[in-house]
Structure 1
Amino acid sequence: MGFDYYIALDISRSAQDADIKKAYRRLALKNHWLNARDPGSAERFKQIAEAYDVLSDPIKKAIYDKFGEEGLKGGIPPEFSSQLTWTKGYVFHGDANKVFHEFFGGDNPYSDFYDAEGREVCLNFGGLRGRGIKKQDPPIERDLYLSLEDLFFGCTKKIKISRRVMNEDRFSSTIKDKILTIDVQPGWRQGTRITFEKEGDQGPNIIPADIIFIVKEKLHPRFRREDDNLFFVSSIPLGKALTCCTVEVRTLDDRLLNIPINDIVHPKYFKKVSGEGMPLASDPTKKGDLFILFDIQFPRHLTPPKKHLLKQALPM
């Protein structure tokens, strides 16, 4: 068993976020190498940093409170993995100075209290001002899965996020929900990025991260998309492939197209229907094309062509 995080910060298990921050501030300053005289302060400084890293994070804290250090560092039992987002074992990065820096801001929060030779300077006020260049957290990226219909017509998606928000005292924080609205435009492609600036967790010495949603296309039962074009596979018997026929295609906007095929259909044959693809993001009044490929159904006594021939029919 390792040390108890609550004992390390000298707080009770009922301590709130403000209590955790207050305890870390006090103990970190006491055990910092610029201030400490006890040889054991360096190890305590690291333990305090790890304790704060865990208890200041709602997810890590919840896992630690429920499963202890073994569950936190060894991973959540499988039967609980669907209920919590943290599924991997926690490993402290080991850089206590990084935690100290992110909490207070600046490379050396003690710079206001010591001169170039390390001598203490008397000031007319107490407490740290926490000066330093604020650093923005790295972007948070999430996939946004959309159907072809969503991307054909455009739609509005509302997504709820939970983030840490600073309280009025600018010291403590609270987890609050917020609804982000995404206006999906007709013709957006997979990989389109929608950025919500500075909507990540707030902190006293950090710039909140940007939240970025990346469009991913759901598989469609009838169509496959490539750029602004749509591909449709029509199964026809060999008899119709050798004679004229008509192919029906139900479009994304629920129209029924009757496409005449006046050629002999072979494995490499395809039919292009102009203007029946996806809307162009730059001009939704214009559309890409629809390509109809053919899966020829051969009688059982005939040998069908190789499957790869159908792939060769794709227009380049």
Structure 2
Amino acid sequence: MRYKDYYQVLGVERGASVDEIKRAYRKLARKYHPDVSKESGAEERFKELGEAYEVLKDPEKRAAYDRLGSRYQAGQEFQPPPDWGSGFEFSGARPAGGRRMDAEEAAAFSDFFESLFGGAARGNGFEAGAGRQSRAAPAADHHARILIDIEDAYTGAERNITLQSPTQDASGRVVMRERSLRVQIPRGVREGQRLRLAGQGAPGADGRSGDLYLEIQFKPHAWYRMVDKDLYLTLPVAPWEAALGAQLTAPTPAGKVEVSIPAGSQTGRKLRLRGRGLPAAEPGDLYIELKVVLPPAEDPKAAELYRKMAAELRFNPRLHLGV
């Protein structure tokens, strides 16, 4: 997927005000409107202008887009990082107050737009077409996605988080406001679960404050990956441990455990530890996937051992292929 420079599309500077963006859009939209323009590719250009304006006219979408834009040039290969929307506070009620785009609406936007603000970016709060609360609403809720460690879900934790929210200054330019909160992470929290912080949203028309909803996402972990309530760990084993069987120690977020490796195990074999997954009324399981790791033959003694094995074992792992 190619990165789109929406500022370049509209021909404005990155620090342009909302009024400057609006004027640039109106001027170019008149020029490339399919009903009046005779230029080749006018319809596609008109759609591109509309997409750029859809993002840059909205303080929240623009601020989120700007967090990525400084690292890319137009036309570069691009893939949104999994944590790009974390710590970003936005208004509106999603999913209760939002909606999905229908096929006709989706056709007006590129894959790049969809990857950032559409269904492919669930959890960042910028689904296209998401509604805002009306001015008559009794309170204005806010939403944010936060990243936590997998270990926090096993034990529970209290964490300081920093949230950023966009607003417009007097000149119509987007500026970021920052605030810090102390948050209690409950034991057994799951990815996608939302934590409600009462009264931490924005003031509504009746003077009361709305709530802040924090959507949980786990940070990428060097050892573990979580699927729903289940945890997966790849455990390296030596060839003799896999061939002969062994009692090994394996790490888990809740502490070390002893694991029995059956004799004759191969790479890819999965061992299931019931109840060692995410804590819950019905806890998940921990799946240990074995990976046989060969010792390096970096010195003469190790190389000689491998030659001796080859001579004595006469093992052909390709025999089933007929070669």
TM-score, normalised via structure 2 length = 0.43
Which one has a larger percent strand, Structure 1 or Structure 2?
Answer: 1
Q: Which has the larger radius of gyration?
A: 1
Q: Larger relative CO (CA 8 A, sep 6+): 1 or 2?
A: 2
